[in-house]
Structure 1
Amino acid sequence: MNLAEKIETVSFDADRPSPKYGLKDLWIEFSQSTGLHAVNKIKPPSISPFSIRGLLWMLSLCSTTAFLVYNLIEEIGDYYSYPTVTKVTPKIRSSIEFPAVTICNRCTLNNTRLGAYPEMENYFFNSVFGLMNESSFLVLDEFQKPLSLEWWRNMSMEGSKMLTECSFGGEKFDCMTKFRPIFTNEGLCHTFNFNVSEIVQVRMAGHAKNLVLLLNINQDHYTFMSNMAAGIKVLLHNPRIHPDASSSVVMAAPGFSTYVALQKIEYLYQPLPHMAFDDMECVDTTSPNFVNPLKYYSHYTYNHCIMECLQMKVFSNCGCVGPSDPQDGPRCSLAKRDSCYKPFIAQTITNGNFVGECACVSECMFDSYTTQVSSSSFPAKVLINKLLNITGAQNKETMTDNVLLLRVFYDQMMITSITQQPQYTVASLFSNIGGQMGLCLGASILTVMEITELLVFIILFLCDKCRGRKARNRINNW
Structure 2
Amino acid sequence: MDEKRTQIVRPDANRPSTEYGLKDLWIEFSQTTGLHAVDKIKPPSLRPFTIRGLAWILALCSTTGFLVYNLVGEIGTYYSYPTVTKITPQIKHAIDFPAVTICNRCTFNNTRLEVYPEMENYFFNISQGRETNDSFSHLTSDVFQAPLSLEWLRNMSMEGSKMLFNCVFGGDIFDCMTEFRPIFTYEGLCHTFNVNASKIAYTAGDDANLIVTFDINQNDYTFIRNRAAGIKVFLHHPDVHPDASSIVVMAAPGFSTYVAIQKIQFLYQTLPYKAFDDTNCLDTDSPDFFNPLKIYSLYTYDHCLMECVQLKAFKQCGCVGPYVPLDDLRCSLVQLDTCYNPAVRSLSKNGTFVKECECVSECVFDRYTAQVSSSSFPADKWESTLLNNTGAKDRTSMEYNFLQLKVFYDQMMVTSITQQPQYTAASLFSNVGGQMGLCLGASLLTVAEIAELLVFIILFLFDKCRGRKARNRISNW
Q: TM-score, normalised by structure 2?
A: 0.95
Q: Which residue of 2 aligns with 1:128?
A: 127
Q: Which residue of 2 aligns with 1:78?
A: 77
Residue type matched to 1:304 in 2?
H
Q: Which residue of 2 aligns with 1:262?
A: 261
The Cα shift of 1:51 comes to: 1.2
Once residues 204 and 141 of structure 1 are traced to their aligned partners in structure 2, the CA distance between those partners, rounded to angstroms, is 53
Residue type matched to 1:171 in 2?
D
Tell me whether 1:228 sits opposite 2:227 in the alignment.
Answer: yes
SS at match of 2:11: helix
Q: Contact between 2:63 and 2:440, CA under 8 Å: does it hold in 1?
A: yes
The Cα shift of 1:351 comes to: 2.5
The Cα shift of 1:255 comes to: 0.6
Once residues 98 and 33 of structure 2 are traced to their aligned partners in structure 1, the CA distance between those partners, rounded to angstroms, is 65
Q: Which residue of 1 aligns with 2:21?
A: 22
Check 1:23–1:443 CA distance in 2 against 1; reply closer, same or farther (3 A cut): same
Residue type matched to 1:330 in 2?
L
Once residues 241 and 132 of structure 1 are traced to their aligned partners in structure 2, the CA distance between those partners, rounded to angstroms, is 31
Q: Contact between 1:199 and 1:239, CA under 8 Å: does it hold in 2?
A: no
Once residues 5 and 44 of structure 1 are traced to their aligned partners in structure 2, the CA distance between those partners, rounded to angstroms, is 43
Q: Contact between 1:162 and 1:218, CA under 8 Å: does it hold in 2?
A: yes
Q: Which residue of 1 aligns with 2:159?
A: 158
Farther-moved stretch of structure 1 (136-145 vs 454-463)? 136-145
Q: Which residue of 2 aligns with 1:88?
A: 87
Once residues 177 and 5 of structure 1 are traced to their aligned partners in structure 2, the CA distance between those partners, rounded to angstroms, is 125
Q: Report Cα offsets for 1:237-288 as digits up to 9, x if no partner.
A: 1111110111211111111111110111100001111111111111111111
Structure 2 residue ranges without an equivalent (≥5): none
Q: Report Cα offsets for 1:429-454 as digits up to 9, x if no partner.
A: 11111111111111111111100000
Q: Contact between 1:105 and 1:232, CA under 8 Å: does it hold in 2?
A: yes
Farther-moved stretch of structure 1 (321-330 vs 175-184)? 321-330
Aligned residue pair count: 471
Check 1:306–1:44 CA distance in 2 against 1; reply closer, same or farther (3 A cut): closer
Once residues 399 and 22 of structure 1 are traced to their aligned partners in structure 2, the CA distance between those partners, rounded to angstroms, is 106
Tell me whether 1:179 sits opposite 2:203 in the alignment.
Answer: no
The Cα shift of 1:5 comes to: 6.8
The Cα shift of 1:457 comes to: 0.7
Once residues 131 and 455 of structure 2 are traced to their aligned partners in structure 1, the CA distance between those partners, rounded to angstroms, is 86
Residue type matched to 1:13 in 2?
A
Once residues 12 and 77 of structure 2 are traced to their aligned partners in structure 1, the CA distance between those partners, rounded to angstroms, is 64
The Cα shift of 1:12 comes to: 4.4
Once residues 44 and 462 of structure 1 are traced to their aligned partners in structure 2, the CA distance between those partners, rounded to angstroms, is 18
Once residues 21 and 251 of structure 2 are traced to their aligned partners in structure 1, the CA distance between those partners, rounded to angstroms, is 91
The Cα shift of 1:311 comes to: 1.3
Tell me whether 1:444 sits opposite 2:443 in the alignment.
Answer: yes
Check 1:143–1:55 CA distance in 2 against 1; reply closer, same or farther (3 A cut): same
Once residues 174 and 471 of structure 1 are traced to their aligned partners in structure 2, the CA distance between those partners, rounded to angstroms, is 96
Q: Which residue of 1 aligns with 2:366?
A: 367
Q: Which residue of 1 aligns with 2:11?
A: 11
Once residues 129 and 453 of structure 1 are traced to their aligned partners in structure 2, the CA distance between those partners, rounded to angstroms, is 85
Once residues 72 and 148 of structure 2 are traced to their aligned partners in structure 1, the CA distance between those partners, rounded to angstroms, is 66
Tell me whether 1:402 sits opposite 2:401 in the alignment.
Answer: yes
Tell me whether 1:189 sits opposite 2:151 in the alignment.
Answer: no
Once residues 69 and 12 of structure 1 are traced to their aligned partners in structure 2, the CA distance between those partners, rounded to angstroms, is 48
Once residues 408 and 82 of structure 2 are traced to their aligned partners in structure 1, the CA distance between those partners, rounded to angstroms, is 38
SS at match of 1:49: coil
Q: Contact between 2:23 and 2:43, CA under 8 Å: does it hold in 1?
A: no
Q: Contact between 2:347 and 2:354, CA under 8 Å: does it hold in 1?
A: no
Matches within 5 A, 1:255-334: 255-334=254-333
The Cα shift of 1:356 comes to: 2.4
Once residues 131 and 423 of structure 1 are traced to their aligned partners in structure 2, the CA distance between those partners, rounded to angstroms, is 56
Q: Report Cα offsets for 1:113-135 as digits up to 9, x if no partner.
A: 11111111111111111234324
Q: Contact between 2:131 and 2:338, CA under 8 Å: does it hold in 1?
A: no
Q: Report Cα offsets for 1:102-123 as digits up to 9, x if no partner.
A: 1111111111111111111111
Q: Contact between 1:47 and 1:55, CA under 8 Å: does it hold in 2?
A: no
Once residues 48 and 110 of structure 1 are traced to their aligned partners in structure 2, the CA distance between those partners, rounded to angstroms, is 106
SS at match of 1:282: coil
SS at match of 1:180: strand
Once residues 434 and 16 of structure 2 are traced to their aligned partners in structure 1, the CA distance between those partners, rounded to angstroms, is 48
Farther-moved stretch of structure 1 (180-189 vs 135-144)? 135-144
Check 1:71–1:47 CA distance in 2 against 1; reply closer, same or farther (3 A cut): farther
The Cα shift of 1:390 comes to: 2.0
Once residues 182 and 402 of structure 2 are traced to their aligned partners in structure 1, the CA distance between those partners, rounded to angstroms, is 20
Farther-moved stretch of structure 1 (457-466 vs 44-53)? 44-53
Once residues 356 and 257 of structure 2 are traced to their aligned partners in structure 1, the CA distance between those partners, rounded to angstroms, is 41
Q: Which residue of 2 aligns with 1:202?
A: 201
Q: Report Cα offsets for 1:348-385 as digits up to 9, x if no partner.
A: 22323212222211100011111111111110011111
The Cα shift of 1:428 comes to: 1.4
Residue type matched to 2:185 in 1?
T
The Cα shift of 1:299 comes to: 1.0
Once residues 435 and 158 of structure 2 are traced to their aligned partners in structure 1, the CA distance between those partners, rounded to angstroms, is 71
Q: Which residue of 1 aligns with 2:104?
A: 105
Q: Report Cα offsets for 1:176-207 as digits up to 9, x if no partner.
A: 0000100001100111012x1x5211111111
Q: Which residue of 2 aligns with 1:391?
A: 390
Residue type matched to 1:281 in 2?
N
Structure 1 residue ranges without an equivalent (≥5): none
The Cα shift of 1:476 comes to: 1.0
Once residues 357 and 163 of structure 2 are traced to their aligned partners in structure 1, the CA distance between those partners, rounded to angstroms, is 38
Q: Contact between 1:46 and 1:54, CA under 8 Å: does it hold in 2?
A: no
SS at match of 2:125: helix
SS at match of 1:412: strand
Once residues 79 and 103 of structure 1 are traced to their aligned partners in structure 2, the CA distance between those partners, rounded to angstroms, is 49
Tell me whether 1:148 sits opposite 2:149 in the alignment.
Answer: yes
Residue type matched to 1:77 in 2?
G
Q: Report Cα offsets for 1:201-221 as digits up to 9, x if no partner.
A: 111111111001111111111
The Cα shift of 1:45 comes to: 8.6
Matches within 5 A, 1:349-360: 349-360=348-359
Once residues 72 and 173 of structure 1 are traced to their aligned partners in structure 2, the CA distance between those partners, rounded to angstroms, is 66
The Cα shift of 1:10 comes to: 5.8
